[in-house]
Amino acid sequence: MLLTTGRTAARQAAVVGSLAGRTCKGRFRSGSLKSMATSAEELRGQSCSLLGGCSSETPKVPMDQLPQYLAALPGWQLADNQAVISRQFVAKNFMAAVKFFNQVAEVAEEEGHHPDLHLTNYREVQVVLSTHAVGGLTMFDFIMAAKLDALDIEYSPKWLKQNQHNLASRGAAAGEPAA
């Protein structure tokens, strides 16, 4: 579990406290926001749909907290502009990539938060998450990333061999035993 400094925790408590009971255009219910989920399991336990929909008033994750959330999500990369996170992999074949996209579609519809999906060279997959309404990263993005990490994926054997360490880290971050 990652710890925050007293100042960071106090700042987040103040932000959450100031938003408590307020809705963002009648959508984002900040009172439902769990403070500083620091594991993939904690993130998966939250729900974008229960927090309410995104709006231009949905709070961004503070820049100083991004590394803590990313530590819970090995394999996800923060873009240089710090406005998106992404994950890439090579699926076993075209149908495995399409199967993954269909699973993502189901989760995205259930959560009401939709990633950008890219398929190139018939099996190279990239998932990009950002909350477009705020032009940056919100809790919704990290919740979705954790839920997408829990999906079964048929990886390319060659890619899997080259990236075994990242996948073992992902399992450890999710509370699963390392392979």
* Radius of gyration for the alpha carbons in the chain, expressed in angstroms and rounded: 17
For 112-157, how does the pLDDT look when each residue is reduced to its tens digit (9 = 90+)?
A: 899 999 999 999 999 999 999 999 999 999 999 999 999 999 999 9
Q: What is the pLDDT of residues 73-94, one digit of tens each?
A: 989 999 999 999 999 999 999 9
Q: pLDDT for 35-78, tens place per residue?
A: 456 788 888 777 766 666 677 888 999 999 999 999 999 899 99
User: Residues near 69 by Cβ (< 8 Å), separated by ≥ 6?
Assistant: 37, 38, 43, 61, 142
Are 74 and 173 contacting, i.e. CB atoms less than 8 angstroms apart?
Answer: yes
